[in-house]
Structure 1
């Protein structure tokens, strides 16, 4: 210490002493102004030490230190003069002791904010009475609440408007699809709205026009085929009757080779007439008005076997059916079963063909819901080419095609009954044809 200024003090006993280990001196030598925590003096008042560096040519060469009685200083007068009565101030040391405290008025419902000081290990707390700022807070709260409500109201109104608009667009599309379902092909819809809705509406209208054009072409094609079918069937039957009649006339007067040729002509005429009858049955199956109905398949199968046995008395036919077996099928299913049985008899390579026919109902143990009609024979079997064409594995062309309409009649009758048709090889030879039809609980 080089000098001491203090009233009524013995400077001589202190000047020249080393205070370098004091905290406030070290803080100042480090380059910061430092204010210590209050220290009780002998007089009973609190004293704080202020220390600041002394620089020469930028270098710290000394510190200037001073002791200040808090009770004799106006350090906090600035706080008292700048703050209203509704604001309170508290200065606290790092040890938790209050250096200065002035509560707000009124001293209730207080909000407090704190901040540390850089020059001292003190914390300044400013408290504000909510009773004073309450009206301002209420006004701000009401303003914010009103703004939020207004924003939500705008969003709700816009959302409702957008919802109603989208709902109208969706309803327009639904009405368009209902019109297509009811056969009003070519129906147009106007959904409007954004580009996305415009594209959807345009796509729907283009699809509707395409369907309308396709349906019109199919109807015209169906009408043409119907006309050709009627004309060809009528002409074919009439002309075949003429040919067959002439052949019978020749056969009745001819002998030898001429009679044989006449008999062959009669046989081919009968075959063509039979083909025409099958074509008519197929046309009936493919008719759009033909729908499956409950039928007792067991009774139908028994009738088919009885007729087949009467037409082929040398055949060994066996039938095994339950009392009833009701399935959903088109009315031509009996003709299809007859075709399978007749095919097994006619294509047998022996004079006494053996054909077994059975009908089985769905059982709980098997977990099936179909009625099965099974026809087994020991003939040469159905060619695999025929099976592959019917199953769609091979295309119908000049080399791979079904040799007759019989199996096509069976295939379409089963298919339009929502059933399945399977072909398997029998042991040691022959074929097993299985027709599966959806079971029903009631009869027609």
Structure 2
């Protein structure tokens, strides 16, 4: 049975998802250090029980739409709230890595049991059915935010889950921009 709080949260996420779907503007340059510092502060305030470790460079920019921070918050909050660890409190790591070419990777990793396959399928852009579907709309919000920003997602499940958000550090190439703003295809995820 769905509680009133869960229904309210679902409605809020549906509105965020609708805003991402309607956002057809190009990705804009964003400074990661301030964005991620604010994000970590908000997560620590909302979840004081969680250990949050960071590795954020001082001056790193990415190209993304305006929904990047709420999408990363969604990943962090999911990792904290769905992590039950026998050794104690949930642990979350948020790290930023520069990749060759022009990619920046934002990694959100936890120490939980691992993201279920159905939830991983959402981040792979696979459609849900009436018989197989995720727990909510949050991961769809993350998926669409990243794709509409010209980015990609990867998920690794081992001792916990590591979700990597790949975004351009340089302007998204003009030739590819419309491809990024169109509906995602299977080749959006690496």
Q: TM-score range by the shorter chain?
A: 0.7 to 0.9
2:54 to 319, 334, 337: 319
- Equivalence for 2:112: 379
Q: Deviations over 1:268-308 (max 9, x none)?
A: 21221111111111111111444311111232112111110
- Equivalence for 2:188: none
Kindly state the Cα deviation for residue 389 of structure 1 after the two structures are TM-superposed.
4.1
1:352 to 89, 94, 119: 89
Is the contact between residue 298 and residue 359 of structure 1 (CA under 8 Å) also seen in structure 2?
no
Matching of residue 333 in structure 1 with residue 65 in structure 2: no
- 1:391–1:345 Cα change, 3 Å: same
Output the CA distance in 1 between the equivalents of 2:109 and 2:131. Answer: 28
Kindly state the Cα deviation for residue 392 of structure 1 after the two structures are TM-superposed.
4.3
- Equivalence for 2:186: none
2:154 to 422, 436, 439: 422
Output the CA distance in 1 between the equivalents of 2:147 and 2:138. Answer: 14
RMSD: 1.9
- Equivalence for 2:18: 283
Is the contact between residue 123 and residue 153 of structure 2 (CA under 8 Å) also seen in structure 1?
no
How many pairs align? 169
Output the CA distance in 1 between the equivalents of 2:82 and 2:113. Answer: 7
Output the CA distance in 2 between the equivalents of 1:389 and 1:320. Answer: 27
Output the CA distance in 2 between the equivalents of 1:270 and 1:391. Answer: 28
Q: Deviations over 1:112-139 (max 9, x none)?
A: xxxxxxxxxxxxxxxxxxxxxxxxxxxx
Q: Deviations over 1:290-334 (max 9, x none)?
A: 431111123211211111011111111011111121111000010
Per chain length, whose mean CA-contact separation is higher, i.e. which structure has more relative contact order (CA < 8 Å, sep 6+)?
A: 2
Output the CA distance in 2 between the equivalents of 1:373 and 1:425. Answer: 16
Is the contact between residue 291 and residue 330 of structure 1 (CA under 8 Å) also seen in structure 2?
yes
Q: How does 1:142-181 map to 2 (within 5 A)?
A: none
Output the CA distance in 1 between the equivalents of 2:10 and 2:120. Answer: 20
Is the contact between residue 64 and residue 146 of structure 2 (CA under 8 Å) also seen in structure 1?
yes
Output the CA distance in 2 between the equivalents of 1:360 and 1:432. Answer: 13
Q: Deviations over 1:326-352 (max 9, x none)?
A: 111000010110000000000011351
- Equivalence for 1:436: 166
Question: Structure 2 length normalisation: TM-score?
Answer: 0.82
Larger Rg: 1
Output the CA distance in 1 between the equivalents of 2:32 and 2:142. Answer: 15
Is the contact between residue 374 and residue 435 of structure 1 (CA under 8 Å) also seen in structure 2?
yes
Q: Deviations over 1:371-395 (max 9, x none)?
A: 11001111121111222244245x4
SS of 1:359's equivalent in the other structure is strand
Which structure 2 segments of 5+ residues have no match? 172-190
Question: Structure 1 length normalisation: TM-score?
Answer: 0.36
- Equivalence for 2:132: 400
- 1:433–1:390 Cα change, 3 Å: closer
Q: Following superposition, which runs of at least 4 residues in structure 1 exceed 3 angstroms of deviation? A: none
2:98 to 361, 366, 376: 361
Output the CA distance in 1 between the equivalents of 2:65 and 2:110. Answer: 25
Which structure 1 segments of 5+ residues have no match? 1-263
Q: Deviations over 1:84-125 (max 9, x none)?
A: xxxxxxxxxxxxxxxxxxxxxxxxxxxxxxxxxxxxxxxxxx
SS of 2:128's equivalent in the other structure is coil
SS of 2:34's equivalent in the other structure is helix
SS of 1:318's equivalent in the other structure is strand
Is the contact between residue 421 and residue 435 of structure 1 (CA under 8 Å) also seen in structure 2?
yes
Q: Which has the higher helix share?
A: 1
- Equivalence for 2:142: 410
Output the CA distance in 1 between the equivalents of 2:121 and 2:146. Answer: 17
Q: Deviations over 1:54-110 (max 9, x none)?
A: xxxxxxxxxxxxxxxxxxxxxxxxxxxxxxxxxxxxxxxxxxxxxxxxxxxxxxxxx
Q: How does 1:84-99 map to 2 (within 5 A)?
A: none
Output the CA distance in 2 between the equivalents of 1:372 and 1:288. Answer: 23
